[in-house]
Amino acid sequence: MSIDKSMNVLIVDDYKTMLRIIRNLLKQIEFNNVEEASDGGEALAKLRAGQFGLVISDWNMQPMTGLQLLQEVRADARLKSTPFIMITAESKTENVVAAKQAGVSNYIVKPFNAETLKEKIEKVLGHA
């Protein structure tokens, strides 16, 4: 069974440049239906309004952080099973532990490469 690459992917980051980079990297691995949000609040609104098969989010954003977004997603009956990958420069043990406890599907530390992104996406979508 192959990955459904037509699924909607939501990428969340307050750096426009980073959104552009992730969008282009996703395009290269054939995920073309990508939507963007610049913070947790905007992302949550888009998630509640649409259908997304994967969320890829930064952590350090204002006013709603990636961790708060993850907690909101996991607390929402309709969204709670959505795969959620955190891509962040936060690389301390307590960050990884907090994200895991909040229900993160996988965790990528910046700077990352395309191969790591592809591998983690495959893993969370159940095709490792």
Q: Name the residues that contact other proteins, by CB under 8 A.
A: 13, 15-18, 20-21, 24-25, 27-28, 59-60, 65, 67-68, 89-98, 100, 106-114, 116
Smallest distance from other proteins to CB 16, Å: 8
For residue 106, give both structure tokens.
């996988």
CA distance 10 to 53: 8
CA distance linking residue 92 with residue 80, whole number of Å: 25
CB of 49 to other proteins, least distance (A): 25
Task: Please say which residue, 47 or 124, places its beta carbon nearer to other proteins.
Answer: 124
Complex with other proteins: residue 8 or 60, whichever CB lies closer: 60
Least distance (Å) from other proteins to the CB of residue 58?
8
Which CB atom, from 3 or from 29, has the smaller least distance to other proteins? Answer: 29
To 10 degrees, what angle do helices 40-49 and 66-75 make?
30
Could you tell me the CA-to-CA distances from 96 to 30, 46, 54, 71, 81 in Å, in that order? Answer: 28, 25, 19, 14, 19
Q: Please, what is the minimum distance in Å from the beta carbon of residue 59 to other proteins?
A: 8
